[in-house]
Structure 1
Amino acid sequence: MDADVVIAGAGPNGLMLACELRLAGVRPIVLERLPEASEVPRANGLVGQVVRMLDRRGLYERLSGTPGPPQPQPRYMFGAFPLDLSTIEPNPVYMLPVPQRRIEEVLQQRALELGAEIRRGHELIGFAQDTDSVTVEISGPDGPYHVTARYLVGADGGRSLTRKLAGIDFPGITNDTMVSRTANAQVPLEYVDPGTGALSIPGYGVIPGLMHHRTERGLFLYGQLPGRPPVVSTGEFDVPPEGPMTLEELQDSVDRVLGVHLPLTPPDGDGPHLLRRVVGGNSRLADRFREGRVLLVGDAAHVHSAIGGPGLNLGLQDTVNLGWKLAAELQGWAPDGLLDSYESERRPVGQRVVMQTQAQSALIAPGNDVTRLRELFGELLTEPRNVQRIADLITGADICYHDGPHPLIGRWAPDLMVDGTRLAELMRTGRPLLLDLTPEAPFAAGVTSEASYAATVARDRVDVVAGRGESPIALLIRPDGYVAWAAEQDGVAEQDGLRDALARWFGVPQERPLTSATR
């Protein structure tokens, strides 16, 4: 075998998967058709659970450039409605306003540090698979060649050739009624509130910064992130002109949507600057995420409206869910059905993102009937419990992969402190973690006991940490940050549940000793 895994695509999802596989001791080769990273502005940052996941891999500070853990945001938006997040607890809305090209740069740097091989200018053009391997045909700078690997993962975007060649259907809808125009552009400085970033437009009124604003004629957004030129965007339901997008076209669109003139001028600096027109959009979900030894992540598996910025949150969490499971399969210790749980867990999450982005698109459409719907929806958002539900939905904080006797089972592990150390710091290795904060730490002691542990689960796969925290709780946490088992006191039932969870997720015993630590 030339590699354990070939990953088609060196965008954020492909690079993150390479990092996860290398943390687990797997050898990936990443193929990318572009010889250099694209300078075209794309996503403006990350929002949702993925921000906390990156913190648990030690990548948040690299990306943010600031020390300390991420903090929740006081406000966000849904369907051009402002969400006051100060009324809810816990607030799950975390943001990381970093351009996609910087995200790719940091993830590539980390993948290379971990020993991943990245081949730029090399493009997947075909593959053949059998029961044991995948032979990938590649077009490279020196001509065609092939690589044999145990698995192939398509991280090659919405038009994924991997998906098409695997024969995986991509059902959904195409909406060609909306035209989105976006550009870096300056507005008159006297219109901008330097404290809040809001626009005060003569003849119209105040529009909050970095928030979608709906009118009867379309959608408008203005915002400026630190260190970057301002962005102006519109969404209209019309027929666009032919030819390249221009700033004058955006100017006309802004004036139509707002019904008043908002002067736009080119941004300062050399760029590259954003100037983009997108007609319509797709909402599609692959009918399966796996075909034999071929798997899909990110946009290769699902595409949807970009409203609310859910794409990278969804795709990067695909990769963190898949990475450890694929490594377990390759290393021969995966319990039955573990790799299949990637699709059974992540496909429903993709389905919910498609649902909520379609709902947001309906709420921003023009027309008096939509205005009436928005009046009702606005009333619902005066209730904190409804704001909580929407915030959980758009961030992925409502994910529960499986139920159990404790309410935390299947959910994101809370950000606990252990003897002054954050849980995020204990998860940097990407390994499963048994965390025992109960008095006398009986669960940690039971697992590290040779007699009991050897009969239940592999001894070299789980880190064990015993210590003190705010709550006397014990958690078995999967590498992707989700709770596999939880208990708050010792007892036969709890010990049995722990043994069952260890066997379910991390397999059967080996001979090497368990990694453990006591704090």
Structure 2
Amino acid sequence: MADAEVVEVPVLIVGGGPVGLTARALLERWGVRTLLVEKRGELSPFPRSRLVNVRSMEIFRGLGLAGAITAAGFAPEYGRVRFRDTLHDRDFATAAMVGVDAPVPESPVTGVVTSQDRLEPTLLAAADAADPADAPVRFGTELVDLTEETDGVVASLVDHRGGTETRVRARYVLAADGANSTVRQRLGIGTAGPGAMGNFTTVVFDADLDRWCAQQPAGVYFTTHGMFAPLYPEGGWAWFVPTPEDTASADWPGLVSRALGPGTGVRVDVSRVQHWVMNAFVAERFRHGRILLAGDAAHAVPITGGLGMNAGLSDAHNLCWKLAGVLNGWAGPGLLETYEAERHPVAHRTLQQAVANTQLMLRVQNRRREQLRSGEAAPERVELPWSDRYFAQLGLVLGVTYRSGAVLADGGGTDSDGGGTDSDSGTEYLPTAEPGRRLPHLWLTEHRSTLDACGEWFTLLTPDPARWVRRTAAPWPLRVEPLTDEHTDACGLGPYGALLVRPDGHIAARWHDRPPGDSALHDALAAVTGSVVPG
């Protein structure tokens, strides 16, 4: 590549799925230039991920995208799963996706059932709306090699459409290139977990199924002949099934028709077929020098429960403000070490929950099969082996606790004893303003949440702004936000206390009452960001 074009950019993003596109939008908000490369020639035409959970919608609310994503998705009543023998039979079990089927008091937003191919164009346009020249995207461009240097990374790219070669010099590389990540493999980073859990096929088709589904909507219908999911509010379906042995000669319209059940007489028009592997693993490391893994490149989880993409979006949210701080000079490079410290334990917990989801789903279906085989009269309902809150995972989604050098314990020291969540089951969430936790949602005004006070800055929430605003915060971006007396107890604050909230909405420090000294805020910001700034 001696004669290859040479491009210099602060951050190279590898992978144009939801995680890479969200990272691009977040970094653009921070004024960080990026180049995103995607080896596919276009955005994925397949539905793939089906659920944007409540925490991801909070992230998109901060980017100003929540309204567009909700408008393109399904109505809240589709936030439900249904179990049937065939699609045209009655439900023998059903469960709500809490936080999706209706609003929850713990958040200002509601999750959305939508297809990934509807989500990605919205994310692509998010950074383009500002200045696409500052955040270019190259489709049909594959990373083929990368080399770390002292002050950056050199990546070799090939454009498969024109055959041109490019050499990119980046300060950092964010690898969001999927479960079969080229970057992870080239770095020799291993994985832990079950690994490949089976080969599956997604068949996208059109058919008129309203007579069985319109009055009982759901985001997913589990049947004994595969999983059916509506794709778009205006129509379209997907059938998810273990991959048949002879895919080359498979009669896909016939297979879908038979899976719908005998005697349906429904015309099936198949438009796309995709074969894929269900993976279950967590990378041994999320960082290799200046190269950082996110999304499926860092952790791939089974699809049951809709946790995988959403965990990847939280990766990007956690990482991008740290990259921006280092690149913009108000954070030390050591801040990036907290990314793995905070997200790696969450990835393991997410994998455990997704595997448990799959096992529980299979238990429901197997129990039904046993009833049918035994010839016993089937009951009206099959008791679900989970609570109604199971599919919400609110404890895992909203209750994540970060422990790292970017969190100061209530006593004032860094909290670096590992990470995790506040619940063994992942189903229950108890809001708290403890350091390391997501800032509780409280309404500051009729339409403005405490979470809306967070953005491309640190936020200081306090009932006594005058006392705190005098305390220097330079060079860190900081906004001081008044907190009404009605919310101080919920945040564990006295009349002169304060919460220091990171740009990702997690609490960095808490002073229950008046600060211990004039430099308390300065010292906390310096400790959290790993900066060396004179007080």
Partner residue in 1 for 2:401: 400
CA distance in 1, matches of 2:203, 2:355: 20
Specify whether residues 305 and 426 from structure 1 end up closer, same or farther in structure 2 by C-alpha distance, changes over 3 A only. closer
- Following superposition, the deviation at residue 398 of structure 1 comes to 2.4
- 144-153 or 246-255, larger mean C-alpha shift: 246-255
Specify whether residues 14 and 191 from structure 1 end up closer, same or farther in structure 2 by C-alpha distance, changes over 3 A only. closer
Scaled by the length of structure 1, the TM-score of the pair is: 0.77
CA distance in 2, matches of 1:33, 1:225: 26
CA distance in 2, matches of 1:137, 1:87: 47
Of 191, 197, 205, which residue of structure 2 is paired with 1:184?
Answer: 205
Partner residue in 1 for 2:60: 54
CA contact (8 A) 1:57 1:430 kept: no
Q: How does 1:25-36 map to 2 (within 5 A)?
A: 25-36=31-42
Specify whether residues 290 and 138 from structure 1 end up closer, same or farther in structure 2 by C-alpha distance, changes over 3 A only. same
Partner residue in 1 for 2:267: 265
CA distance in 2, matches of 1:78, 1:285: 30
CA contact (8 A) 2:52 2:310 kept: yes
CA contact (8 A) 2:113 2:219 kept: no
- Following superposition, the deviation at residue 369 of structure 1 comes to 11
Of 23, 40, 43, which residue of structure 2 is paired with 1:37?
Answer: 43
Does residue 1:415 correspond to 2:441, yes or no?
yes
2:123 is aligned with what amino acid? Answer: L
- Following superposition, the deviation at residue 261 of structure 1 comes to 4.8
CA contact (8 A) 2:443 2:450 kept: no
Of 12, 25, 30, which residue of structure 2 is paired with 1:6?
Answer: 12
CA contact (8 A) 1:413 1:483 kept: yes
- Following superposition, the deviation at residue 134 of structure 1 comes to 0.6
1:479 is aligned with what amino acid? Answer: P
Of 126, 138, 142, which residue of structure 2 is paired with 1:123?
Answer: 142
1:385-428 alpha-carbon deviations (Å, 9 max, x no partner): x5557633586122111384474322222233335551378457
CA distance in 2, matches of 1:379, 1:285: 29
- Following superposition, the deviation at residue 288 of structure 1 comes to 0.4
- Following superposition, the deviation at residue 43 of structure 1 comes to 2.9
Specify whether residues 394 and 369 from structure 1 end up closer, same or farther in structure 2 by C-alpha distance, changes over 3 A only. farther
Specify whether residues 295 and 370 from structure 1 end up closer, same or farther in structure 2 by C-alpha distance, changes over 3 A only. farther
2:205 is aligned with what amino acid? Answer: N
Structure 1 unmatched ranges of 5 or more = 198-208, 513-519
1:23-53 alpha-carbon deviations (Å, 9 max, x no partner): 2222211112234333344333412410111
Scaled by the length of structure 2, the TM-score of the pair is: 0.75
Aligned residues: 468
Of 216, 230, 249, which residue of structure 2 is paired with 1:196?
Answer: 216
Specify whether residues 262 and 302 from structure 1 end up closer, same or farther in structure 2 by C-alpha distance, changes over 3 A only. farther
SS for the counterpart of 1:480 is coil
- Following superposition, the deviation at residue 73 of structure 1 comes to 7.3
CA distance in 1, matches of 2:97, 2:306: 18
SS for the counterpart of 1:164 is helix
CA contact (8 A) 1:45 1:98 kept: yes
- 151-160 or 85-94, larger mean C-alpha shift: 85-94
2:504 is aligned with what amino acid? Answer: D
Partner residue in 1 for 2:95: 82
Structure 2 unmatched ranges of 5 or more = 1-6, 84-92, 372-378, 411-431, 492-497
Specify whether residues 499 and 127 from structure 1 end up closer, same or farther in structure 2 by C-alpha distance, changes over 3 A only. same
Of 94, 100, 121, which residue of structure 2 is paired with 1:105?
Answer: 121
Specify whether residues 36 and 503 from structure 1 end up closer, same or farther in structure 2 by C-alpha distance, changes over 3 A only. same
CA distance in 1, matches of 2:447, 2:219: 35
1:147 is aligned with what amino acid? Answer: V
1:467-508 alpha-carbon deviations (Å, 9 max, x no partner): 547413543221112122345x53245988755542332354
CA contact (8 A) 2:153 2:173 kept: yes
Specify whether residues 499 and 28 from structure 1 end up closer, same or farther in structure 2 by C-alpha distance, changes over 3 A only. same
Of 184, 196, 200, which residue of structure 2 is paired with 1:163?
Answer: 184
SS for the counterpart of 2:305 is coil
CA contact (8 A) 1:77 1:308 kept: no
Partner residue in 1 for 2:194: 173
SS for the counterpart of 2:204 is strand
Bigger relative CO (Cα 8 Å, ≥ 6 apart): 1
- Following superposition, the deviation at residue 54 of structure 1 comes to 0.7
CA distance in 1, matches of 2:391, 2:188: 35
